[in-house]
């Protein structure tokens, strides 16, 4: 915890607009990426410079906007199934003046693959939607990844419940079990190399072998 507090103290300041978005998420109990996790993701994007990004799980648009902040010339396709969240994201993209760089798709990610595929290949795929469906998301969208692309999956430690499932609240155990299975499948997949970084809520980085 001391290390985490120290790392938090080193985080760069965010803009007034981003701070307002973070406050909105907190007040309305909208899950967004944790500060250390989003900072790490933004650094990956600065290094990798992905021209095209696919995000599975838009929520209110926070992560998409932060990814564009890290690499403003990127194009993002992002999917959100909840209509209220979809409308909130659309509003936020417009207020930030980024609607021309983001294609927002309303629908279940497991049902809109054809529409997504029409837009082409991706340099980075970011998975941050229903945790119990990560394996399905990965299998469905990994074929759209370019050979030098990366897949980033958030929440792969899931509030500590993945590593300590027997001590986790019962309501978290089922999802934690599915995330644990997903993590193992990533590690066992001979077509990819995966590393899990214990930052934020756990971030998996996957590249083609």
* 204 annotated ligand binder: no
* 108 annotated ligand binder: yes
**CA dist., res. 42 & res. 16, Å (int):** 18
Write down how long the chain is.
209
* 23 annotated ligand binder: no
* 20 annotated ligand binder: no
* 1 annotated ligand binder: no
* 154 annotated ligand binder: yes
Residue numbering of the annotated binding site for Mg(2+): 128, 154-155
Residue numbering of the annotated binding site: 33, 63, 80, 108-109, 128, 154-155
Residue numbering of the annotated binding site for S-adenosyl-L-methionine: 33, 63, 80, 108-109, 128
């Amino acid at each position: 915890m001391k290390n985490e507090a120290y790392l938090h103290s080193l985080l760069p300041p965010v803009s007034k607009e981003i701070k307002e978005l973070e406050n909105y998420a907190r007040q309305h109990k909208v899950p967004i990426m944790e500060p250390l996790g989003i900072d790490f993701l933004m650094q990956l994007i600065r290094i990798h410079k992905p021209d095209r990004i696919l995000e599975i799980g838009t929520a209110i648009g926070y992560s998409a906007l932060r990814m564009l902040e890290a690499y403003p010339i990127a194009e993002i396709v992002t999917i959100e199934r909840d209509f209220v969240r979809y409308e909130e994201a659309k509003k936020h993209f417009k207020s930030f003046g980024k609607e021309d760089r983001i294609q927002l798709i309303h629908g279940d990610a497991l049902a809109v693959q054809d529409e997504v595929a029409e837009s082409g290949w991706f340099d980075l795929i970011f998975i941050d939607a229903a945790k119990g469906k990560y394996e399905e998301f990965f299998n469905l969208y990994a074929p759209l990844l370019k050979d030098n692309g990366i897949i980033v999956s958030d929440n792969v430690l899931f509030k500590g419940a993945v590593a300590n499932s027997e001590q986790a609240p019962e309501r978290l155990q089922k999802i934690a079990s599915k995330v644990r299975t997903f993590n193992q499948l990533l590690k066992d997949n001979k077509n990819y190399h995966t590393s899990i970084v214990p930052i934020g809520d756990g971030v998996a980085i996957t590249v083609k072998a």
